Structure 1
């Protein structure tokens, strides 16, 4: 079983990132940040978390995307602003298919969301500092992967589960 903690759109809130790193350091296998941290690429948190550049990040040492292997699954992390995610995930889906990934993390919309299309799982952890949408709760998520399923569990900034957002998906 592999666990991935995903957070996005922290917009300068370094304290919450440090808190997540301390809280989950021995509990998750990967920490990913989906951009708009507004922190320097030399910040010490990036020794723990992997990040990508968002539209509010101006340190050009950051990459636009990050790829890694989680067990047998190929994973892609982007911010999403270059994929027009506010209107649809079609651009992300095209890139995911080309990159042969089965799991995509993205941010930008500040709205917590997990959905699956044609075997590809798209996960937005929401925003840990400036939520939007109907939920209006600061969120991050933990994805638990095994060979056949992915469980996406969302938490608020007080580390309490947002039960209505929990989803489980079959993975191909």
Structure 2
């Protein structure tokens, strides 16, 4: 008898990125890509305040961000899970999530939300077709992480 298992490869990839990123943050070993020239990010006054309040967890997450003047910030590096074109949207999404915490958010919760945002942007998209080798790689990573961990943690990777 054959057992069939349908896996949402987008959800699985996002979960694997999330778990890898959280582990890297905890070990303070987030792999980052440093830019030759800083990317300038223009924020609203509210976003600027939010970013300044959360610079420490953001920097520990692989983002090298510094004030550049006014509401402009220089981004010198990003986690290597991301691509340069995603920087504005990712930081904006992180700030949107952090706005829910205000200043009293715990570091663990802040890191989880940063990792979730990065994983959402960096993961494969539903319309993206994977090669067999890429699918096998995802399944191998799933095996390494431990399928029972994923299933018991309440994640939905099955469709």
TM range, smaller chain: under 0.3
Q: Which has the higher helix share?
A: 2
Q: TM-score, normalised by structure 2?
A: 0.27
Q: Using CA pairs below 8 Å that are at least 6 residues apart, which structure has the higher relative contact order?
A: 2
| Structure with bigger gyration radius | 2
